[in-house]
Amino acid sequence: MLNRRTLLATLTAGSLLATSGFALAQDKMYIPLISKGFQHQFWQAVKAGADKAAAEFGVEVTFEGPDTEAQVDKQMDMLAAALAKKPAAIGFAALDSQAATPLLKQAQEAGIPIIAFDSGVDSDIPATTVTTDNLAAAALAADKMAELIGGAGKVALVVHDQTSRTGIDRRDGFVNEVKAKYPNIEIVDIQYGAGDQLQSTEITKAILTAHPDIKGIFGANEGSAIGVLNAIKETGTKGVVVIGYDSGKLQKDAIRSGEMAGAITQNPVGIGYETVKAAIAAVKGEKLPAKIDSGFKWYDKTNIDDPEIAAVLYD
Amino acid sequence: MTATPIATAKPRLLASGAQQKLLAFASLIVLLLFFSLASPNFLQTANILAILQATSVNGVLAIAATLVIITGGIDLSVGTLMTFTAVIAGVVLTFWGLAMPVGILAAIAAGAACGFISGSLIARMKIPPFIATLGMMLILKGLSLVISGTKPIYFNDTPSFPQLSTGSLIGALVPALPVPNGVMILFILALIISWVLNRTTLGRYCFALGSNEEAVRLSGVNADGWKVAIYALAGGICGIAGLLIASRLNSAQPALGQGYELDAIAAVVIGGTSLAGGRGSILGTIIGALIMSVLLNGLRILSVAQEWQTVVTGVIIIAAVYADMLRRRRAG
Amino acid sequence: MTEVIRMSGIEKRFPGVHALRGAQFDLMAGEVHALMGENGAGKSTLMKILSGIYAPDGGTLHVNGAEVRIAGPRAAQGLGIGIIHQELALMPDLTVAQNIFIGREPRSRWGVLDEAQINRDAEAIFAAMKVPVDPRAEVRSLTIAKQQMVEIAKALSFRSRILIMDEPTAALNDAETEELFAIIRRLKSEGVAIVYISHKMDEIRRISDRVTVMRDGAYVGTVAASDTPIETIITMMVGRELDQTAAEIPDLSAAPVALEVSGLSRGRMVRDVSFTLRRGEILGFAGLMGAGRTEVARVIFGADPRDGGKIIVHGKERQIRTPQDAVAAGIGYLSEDRKHFGLALGIDVRGNIALTSLERFSDRFLRVDDAALAKIAANYIGSLAIRTPSDRQEVRLLSGGNQQKVVIAKWLLRDCDILIFDEPTRGIDVGAKAEIYRLLQSPAEAGKAIIVISSELPEVLRLSHRIAVMCEGRLTGILPGGPATSQQEIMRLATQRDTAPQGASA
């Protein structure tokens, strides 16, 4: 009796959910995107871009990512499930390229093209990588920083991590630009806060304490940048130039109010869109460049509401 | 007043544990049937192997959690302990360049040592299990990051290491059945621990402690000593989980681990082990772990949105535990 | 007969309590020796020392003529001493055989258990006891009586020559008790020495050879069970001087009835209980542990469901199904276990006093009027003389007596007309008791109806206007309060069993 009831309930719940699955016509080209995250605004914007492309080109797209960027194994389970669905192509942003290699090889053998996106995949398997040129974008942040602090003084970086491609590129892009062009600017500290707002806040507080004469801080992703802002607010520090990365409501508000001088925005919507577009091209056997730049922009108080900028910003 | 009739214990068709296992097993079968019917992509060798592979780590962790939960305790540190042992393996194999068996032993020993510490905090210092293992969870998370320098440690110098989990001894013998070693390790471990629970003193005291700790003490048993031993064994099993995940990812990922304890506990609970202690089984836990990964995989195959996958998992956990409670209430 | 146990001059102190004062006890092979005394007389403590659970602070202990020190339960088992605890010390999730052999399972190499062996051994023990118990059954599935048999089997499996039974019949019905007695007689005939702790007078007479009485942790005397009148034993148990300040009994014949209970029943613990309680009256409930007094209170309060009976409050029958219903009917219950049921220990004095009346002090947005609460709390702290640094002090930091006052304040504030106090002075030192008594008397003078449940006879005698005595779930009589009633009379009612068969024949 009980057994039967439980089973029935399970069945009902299952079939309710499954209707969405059945609704997807099987003859459409199916392209799953496995990303590095899911809940974060940035990834939701990528998803929005992918959905947009899906509607435009008439393909089926799903978007999944683990809860935190540490869950490498969960991402692999997602990739394995995606492969089982015999997709036309897969969009993939690896948390750990090495760990994913066996599955990617499996896809390669099955003739499923892989389109890397965002931080990409450290491997020659992907047909192409849709990404922001983070080195160039961070160099632009360094130029803006130099301009805002008058070309001299101490600056620091709060970066999300030192292992991912984006972390490394944004750090190196900024540091190399400063070294090459601004001899009077001294980079006094580079700290890593896992992109976590709270952790980044504490790190920034420590930097502010150690270097009271600091002129500017660069937060290398959304979580880092908001952490920097929080620390400045909580300590009541004045006159430090903050440059952020990506968007999100908090950064946008801070830029409008002047707490943040400006930020680099990638084009997450563009990443999602271009990934799907590249995937379709790959399926059709078209030639793809090794890299597809999805673009970046500097934005501040003056241009935040320009339609061209507003289109790539997200809340 | 009538006297209670004096009778021998009611003969039961199945022990209560068996009933729950049956219930869980039936649910698993229903899930498998449902997903097989719903999508032709589900019941494919590759996908089934992917489900088993996804179960291996959580399954091993859940075995460790089962031992502790049967004693009436809880271990929140299984996830980060797993990571810690993976990092230890990384240190031994990659940083020190020692041979693979040394790394394997080191990881398991480190796990057992941490379990020993948790157990001692609980049994000797009388710190509640929730608190003691919460503390250990954070300590181990931090130590993993410190030791690894917050970077993943890759096992590129030990080329055979990934084989530990992803290779297939069976596949080498029977090419049609390429079951990954990680999955075989899970099943063999389950058999061993199941045997330990049912056939050895340590297992007996697991149930006895969870059933009535004071009675165990009054029977002249070294209750504290056994409790420490059980936590140490659970820790050693976490070491095996650490090896499996490190081998699967070919790297020790120091930031991973937190949250995995909840998946493990969920598998244990779905498998019918009582959080109050005293009853539970490894078979139930394995079924519980399988239910979780079949569910997740199946929902993915059906392209159910990720938000809803989480919702369904939550519903299943509550439903499983409620069904178990109903059954027990009926059993009186 | 040979002497197997001699304990003399045994001392034991717990923090704040001198539990045993030079206690002594001896035991012969093949006898059943009853150990009696009021609650808290030290019987269980003495036996826990004998079974190695407590270490004595002083005194000597001889087993089979040799002086020994018993280091723990294991050592006691080694000496052939087995104990059957009042709260059964079994593991419900394990099988009968697994319970019996816990801690000394026969095993082969690598600690592999030999389940068949323990089942066989357990079967043999039950066969010797002539009791049909399935060794493979889960203990959870057995009746309490059967579980008791498992405990005995466990003790016997140590080849125990000395068996301590602490209130073994407390949870047994008559048929089950007979079953137990048959086993006791069989063991006795095999030369096993048995210590039998019980409150049930008739049982003592039927089963035991000698009776040792303890009082306040000290030895009173040992008498032969067969030719000593029950009165003598009761006098030995009660012994102490009566508190001279007896209750002043007001004439309440004209006072309206506040509570009428008729035919109240719940299982075996409350059987057809009927009584009335007038406004201004203090009705004492006396009885031995397990007589069903707390159960009556809990049923009236709606904390436990009732099988039958009526509860009439101020002339109107009330359907009380939950404690909320009871409170709405104006009944307050001050639980026996303050820490578990009466107080929120981590909350301050003010919060606890207001706990049941919060709705009165909050507006429709559920905002609490803290100023008014503070004033009320200050009032009660003054009027009940609660010793606390402020009304913001956490209750757990107060002494037992002051905690009790906070509970009383809580119910006074709730404006209940009927207050049930369950063991109001348990765990409270002697000095504070007098104060609590005054606290109980003043609401009665103000017209509230009070029920006091107490296991201490002098307390019942001192407080009560009338005394209801219970035994095994039945109300065996209502005695007038004051000097007219003696403790002996109460004890007689408290041990007046319904179905007591006479004689020691089985």
Q: CB-based burial of residue A209 (10 Å sphere; 0-12 exposed, 13-18 middle, 19+ buried)?
A: exposed
Q: What are the angstrom distances between the C-alpha of A36 and each of A82, A90, A228, A277? A: 15, 14, 23, 19
CA A173/CA A131 separation, integer angstroms = 15
CB B46, CB A83: distance < 8 Å: yes
C-alpha distance from B256 to closest chain A C-alpha (Å) = 5
Please give, one letter per residue, the 3-state secondary structure of C228-244. Answer: CCHHHHHHHHHCCCCCC
Asked whether the predicted pLDDT for residue C428 surpasses 90, the reply is no
A3, A21, A99 ranked by CB distance to B304: nearest:
A21
Note whether B321 contacts A: Cβ–Cβ < 8 A.
no
* Single-letter residue type at C121: D
Per-position b or e across C69-88, b if 16+ CB within 10 A of its CB: ebebbbebbebbbbbbbbeb
Q: Which of B6, B218, B221 is facing C179, going by the closest CB pair?
A: B6
pLDDT at C393: 83
Query: SS3 helix, strand, coil % of chain C, rounded to 5?
Result: 35, 25, 40
The CA-based angle B267-B269-B273, given to 5 degrees, is 120
Q: Chain B residue with minimal CA distance to C499? A: B1
Identify residue C225 by its one-letter amino acid code: A
- Residue (of B67, B29, B110) closest to B231 by Cα position: B67
- CA gap C121, C114 in Å, rounded: 11
**Residue C146 C-alpha, separation from nearest chain B C-alpha, in angstroms:** 8
CATH topology of domain A27-132+268-295: Rossmann fold (3.40.50)
CA A265, CA B138: separation in Å to the nearest integer? Answer: 35
**Mean pLDDT computed over every residue of chain A:** 87
Residue C177 CA to its chain's centroid (Å) = 19
Question: Tens digit of pLDDT for each residue in C55-113?
Answer: 999 999 999 989 999 988 889 988 999 888 877 788 988 999 999 998 888 777 667 88
C89 contacts B215? CB cut-off 8 A? yes
The answer, yes or no, to whether residue C340 has pLDDT greater than 60, is no
Question: What is the secondary structure of C157-215 as a DSSP string?
Answer: HTT-SEEEEESTTTT--HHHHHHHHHHHHHHHHTT-EEEEE-S-HHHHHHH-SEEEEEE
CATH number at residue B92: 1.10.3470
Per-residue CA distances from B231 to A210, B137, B207, B223, C97 (Å):
43, 14, 14, 12, 26
Q: Is the Cβ of B323 closer than 8 Å to some Cβ of chain A?
A: yes
Chain-centroid distance, C-alpha C140? 23
Domain assignment present for residue B26? The answer is no
d(CA B14, CA B20): 10
At a CB cut-off of 8 Å and minimum separation 6, what does C231 contact? C488, C492
pLDDT band, residue A52 (cuts 50/70/90): very high
Q: What is the mean pLDDT of residues C403-431?
A: 79
Residue C320 has pLDDT above 60, yes or no: yes
Q: At what angle do helices B282-301 and B260-270 cross, to 10 degrees?
A: 110
More confident residue, A120 or B203: B203
- Dihedral sign for Cα C379, C382, C385, C391, please: positive
Q: Which domain covers residue B279, as residue numbers?
A: 41-324
Put residue C503 in one of left, alpha, beta given phi > 0 → left and psi -120 to 50 → alpha. left
What DSSP letter does each residue of C388-445 carry, written as one string? -S-TTSBGGGS-HHHHHHHHHHHHHHTT-SEEEEESTTTT--HHHHHHHHHHHHHHHH
Q: Which chains touch C (3 or more CB pairs under 8 A)?
A: B
From A13, A101, A194, residue closest to B315, measured CB to CB: A13
Q: Which of C44, C53, C102 to mutate to test the interface with B (most CBs of B within 10 A)?
A: C102
Q: Supply the pLDDT for residue A274.
A: 94
Q: Across the A/B interface, how many CB contacts are shorter than 8 Å?
A: 144
Sheet of C58-63, strand order: C17-28, C3-14, C58-63, C66-67
pLDDT of residue A256: 93
Considering just the CA atoms, what is the radius of gyration of chain A in Å? 22
Q: What phi and psi, each to the nearest 5 degrees, are found at residue C67?
A: -70, 135
Residue B198 within any structural domain of the chain: yes
> Under CATH, which number does the domain C3-238 receive?
3.40.50.300
Is residue B209 within 8 Å of residue B226, measured between CB atoms?
A: yes
* Planar angle of CA B112, B115, B118, nearest 5 degrees: 155
Q: Do chains C and A touch (3 or more CB pairs under 8 A)?
A: no
Q: Are strands A262-266 and C58-63 parallel, antiparallel or unpaired?
A: unpaired
Q: Residue B12 domain-assigned?
A: no
What are C310's strand-pairing partners?
A: C262
Pick the CATH number of A134-266 from 3.10.20.440, 3.40.50.2300, 3.20.20.20, 2.40.10.340: 3.40.50.2300
Q: What pLDDT shows up at residue B74?
A: 95
The total domain count for chain B is: 1
- How many CB atoms within 10 Å of residue C108? 10
Other Cβ atoms closer than 10 A to C212: 24
User: In the structure, what pLDDT confidence band is assigned to residue A308 with cuts at 50, 70 and 90?
Assistant: confident
Is the Cβ of C133 closer than 8 Å to some Cβ of chain B?
A: yes
Q: Strand C81-84: give its sheet, edge to edge.
A: C81-84, C162-166, C193-197, C32-36, C210-215, C218-224
3-class DSSP state of A265 = strand
pLDDT score of A23: 42
Q: Is residue B330 part of a domain?
A: no
- The structural domains of chain C, with segments of one domain joined by +, span 3-238, 256-330+416-500, 341-415
Q: Find out whether C240 and C458 touch, Cβ atoms under 8 Å.
A: yes
CB C189 within 8 A of CB C30: yes
Mean confidence (pLDDT) of chain C: 84
CA distance B94 to B156: 8
How does pLDDT run across B259-308, given as a tens digit for each residue? 899 999 999 999 888 888 888 999 999 999 999 999 999 999 998 888 89
Confirm or reject contact between B318 and chain A (CB < 8 A).
no
User: Quick check: is B10 in a domain?
Assistant: no
User: In the CATH hierarchy, which top-level class contains the domain C256-330+416-500?
Assistant: alpha beta
> Do chain B and A touch: 3 or more Cβ pairs under 8 angstroms?
yes
| CB C80 within 8 Å of CB C162 | yes
Burial class (CB in 10 A: 0-12, 13-18, 19+), A124: exposed
Tens-place pLDDT, residues A173-228: 999 999 999 999 999 999 998 888 888 999 999 999 999 999 999 999 989 999 99
By C-alpha distance, which of C354, C496, C504, C327 is closest to C418? Answer: C327
Residue B327 touches chain A, beta carbons under 8 Å: yes
Neighbours of C422 (CB within 10 A): 24
Planar angle of CA A66, B132, B130, nearest 5 degrees: 65
Residues of chain A with CATH 3.40.50.2300: 27-132+268-295, 134-266
Per-residue pLDDT at C499: 55
B32 within a domain of the structure (yes/no): no
